[in-house]
Amino acid sequence: MCTDCGCSTGHNHEHNHKETINEDIKNNPQLNHKVKIIEKILSKNNQMADEIRAEFDKHKITCFNMMSSPGSGKTTTLENLADKLPYKFAVIEGDLETSKDAERIRNKGIWSFQLQTGRACHLDAGMVKHALPEFPFENTEIAFIENVGNLVCPASYDVGAHYNMVFVSVPEGDDKIEKYPVMFRKADIVIITKADMIDFFDFNIDYAKETANKLKPGVPVVLLNNKTGEGLDEIINWIDAKRKEHLKTLS
Ligand SMILES: Nc1nc2c(ncn2[C@@H]2O[C@H](COP(=O)(O)OP(=O)(O)OP(=O)(O)O)[C@@H](O)[C@H]2O)c(=O)[nH]1
Ligand SMILES: [Mg+2]
């Protein structure tokens, strides 16, 4: 898995190989040292993420972290939201290279800042901080952070958002939710994109809903067709509810 950032060490749940890993760490001073360093990095990241959230809170901005594997439809959903979401929003984009996604968002008349991570397979709070000096705090109600396309590592890094939106597309297969539990446990909403492809893939919606709810009881699962916009209103209603929920915590 990811050797750049050590994301793979985040084993905090039951696995049948858990004991082996713990024993390995205990008996291997080098591994033990590495785990301590990663814990320190994550704790520093969490502290920075809290600072980012506090900055958003100060300006009454609700922030959503969008995560999925590459190409699930995060940017396309943002483009469609630009036409319909009744809130002023801004977007922080994360990709290894290029500013393509930020350009797509700007083409819709929305402020966007591109973070290029180079080799890193996820955004972290330190990276997101780089976007803040230019962020239009005074003219924004909602911030979206589009994370690097990756169904594993972004789940381990708090980026200062209030809520997580996790996308999975029909062509990826209905087993992805179960196979990537760390990500789906973090989801406040699961959005199944490319619903127009359902007849071409053996994607069982009921099974996807069931597995999502096993990992995160009560999580809403929305089917989205970005070609027709079907499902977008449901997502907008959810964003609206979360926005109101967030504002209540500030008063
Ligand atoms: N058929 C169909 N295609 C879609 C849908 N949503 C997105 N796409 C297509 O899927 C491709 C990838 O979409 P993006 O929005 O760029 O995906 P992304 O998640 O932002 O990708 P990364 O930023 O690279 O991780 C594009 O060709 C979109 O047009 C959908 O609902 N149906
Ligand atoms: Mg994108």
Residue 124 pLDDT: 96
Sign of CA dihedral 31, 36, 41, 46: positive
Domain count along the chain: 1
9 belongs to a structural domain: no
Query: Which ligand 1 atom is at minimum distance from the Cα of 69?
Result: 25
In 15-171, which ranges are E strands?
A: 62-67, 89-95, 112-116, 142-146, 163-169
| Nearest CA residue ID for atom 11, ligand 1 | 71
8 is a domain residue:
no
- Domain assignment present for 4: no
pLDDT at 22 (0 to 100)? 66
In a domain, 7, yes or no: no
The alpha carbon of 194 and the centre of ligand 2 are apart by a number of angstroms equal to: 14
Q: Is 229 in the pocket of ligand 1 (CB under 6 A)?
A: no
Cα separation, 14 vs 60, in Å, equals 38
Pocket test for ligand 1, best of 69, 103, 108, 226 (most atoms within 8 A of CB): 226
CATH number at residue 138: 3.40.50.300
Nearest residue CA, atom 12 of ligand 1? Answer: 71
Whether the CA torsion 80, 92, 63, 69 is positive or negative: it is: positive
Residues 235, 191 contacting (CB under 8 angstroms): yes
Q: Whose CA is nearest to atom 30 of ligand 1?
A: 194
Looking at the domain assignment, is residue 92 inside a domain? Answer: yes
Are 140 and 59 in contact by the 8 Å Cβ rule? The answer is yes
- Say yes or no to pLDDT of 251 above 60: yes
Is the CB of 132 within 6 Å of ligand 1? no
> What residues contact residue 144 under an 8 Å CB cut-off, 6+ apart?
63, 64, 66, 78, 89, 90, 91, 92
* Within a domain: 6: no
Largest Cα–Cα distance of the chain, in whole Å? 56
Whether residue 80 is contained in a domain is answered as yes
The pTM of the full predicted model, rounded to 2 decimals, is 0.90
Domain assignment present for residue 153? The answer is yes
Q: Give pLDDT, residue 2.
A: 58
What's the domain range around 27? 17-250
Give tens-digit pLDDT for 110-169. Answer: 999 999 999 999 999 999 999 999 999 999 999 999 999 999 999 999 999 999 999 999
**What's residue 167's pLDDT?**
98
Is the C-beta atom of 114 inside 6 A of ligand 1? Answer: no
